[in-house]
Amino acid sequence: MIQIVQRYRPNARGRDFVVSDIHGCFDKLREALDDVEFIAESDRLFSVGDLIDRGPRSTETLDWLARPWFHPCIGNHEDMALKSRHDNNVLSGWVSMNGGQWWLALDAGTREKYLAAFRQLPVVMEIETRYGRVGIVHADIPEQLSWQAFLDALEAGDAAAREIAVWSRRRADGLVTGPVEGIDQVVCGHTIMSDRRIYRSANVWFIDTGAFLPVTEDGHLSLLTLDSLFDDSAPTAASADDLFRKW
């Protein structure tokens, strides 16, 4: 049974991290986890999705998905992979414009393993922490919905709500402001911030800092603890990324 909304109890044993859009940059992720001395037995790593495409090592994704401490939600790139199976227009657009070339080198059996793994990814995760509840979703939250109404819509199979969750940039682009009611903090990826800084809009954090972009464009991976979202010294968009490590 596929869980559209995946809920996690507090981590009583270790730390909880969330990582920005990886896009095949698993070398950077390994370096980041080494630097924070990640403990696989007790820590958890959540991801905002977009594990594949654009970067150098998309073919490591299946190995990462098998790790019991790694918890991603679906990104629009994994969504493209799923939709490409029955839609050649999606397939050609994905491969030609969105970094999906690596897919063509896979044999049919490996592709099926990827699609089976991507089908298991939740659209939304909700994690309890000692300071409050954190929601994670790839792209956006419909502007008129509370957190609970959003989750209810997704679980009822509302395709429009799912499309916004995985694809929309309205909130990241500043077209929607104000908090998402009914959740303490929300973390999104998907939209690379123009100045490569983590951006906070009310209680919604946008953490895609362009891991696959060259250093000349200041592309980097960001890794945050969920606890840091509740740090009172963090709240301004101007200073937030200074608190978090970059790779």
Catalytic residues: 77
- The binder of Mn ion chosen from 76, 84, 129, 201 (CB under 5 A): 76
Reported as half-sphere exposure (CB side, CA atoms, 13 A), residue 50 has a value of 33
What is the DSSP code (8-state) at residue 207? -
Using the rule CB under 5 A, give the single segment among 38-46, 48-56, 125-133, 179-187 that binds Mn ion.
48-56
- Taking alpha carbons only, the member of 198, 196, 185 closest to residue 244 is 198
- Give the span between the Cα atoms of 101 and 144, in whole angstroms: 37
Q: Among the candidate windows 36-44, 86-94, 186-194, 222-230, which touches Mn ion by CB under 5 A?
A: 186-194
Give me the least distance between CB of 10 and Mn ion, in Å please.
28
Sign of CA dihedral 170, 171, 174, 178: positive
Least Å from the CB of residue 137 to Mn ion: 11
Residue nearest to Mn ion (CB): 190
190 binds Mn ion (CB under 5 A): yes
Check binding of 57 to Mn ion (CB under 5 A).
no
Q: What kind and span of H or E run contains 77?
A: helix 76-84
Between 43 and 50, name the residue whose CB sits nearer to Mn ion: 50
- Choice between 166 and 240, CB closer to Mn ion: 166
Helix (H) or strand (E) holding 199: strand 199-201
Contact 28, 247 (CB under 8 A): yes
And the tokens for 221? 């991976």
- Distance of closest approach, residue 77 Cβ to Mn ion, in angstroms: 6
**Among positions 6, 17, 43, 50, the unique one binding Mn ion when judged by CB under 5 A:** 50
Question: Under the rule (CB under 5 A), what is the footprint of Mn ion?
Answer: 50, 75-76, 190
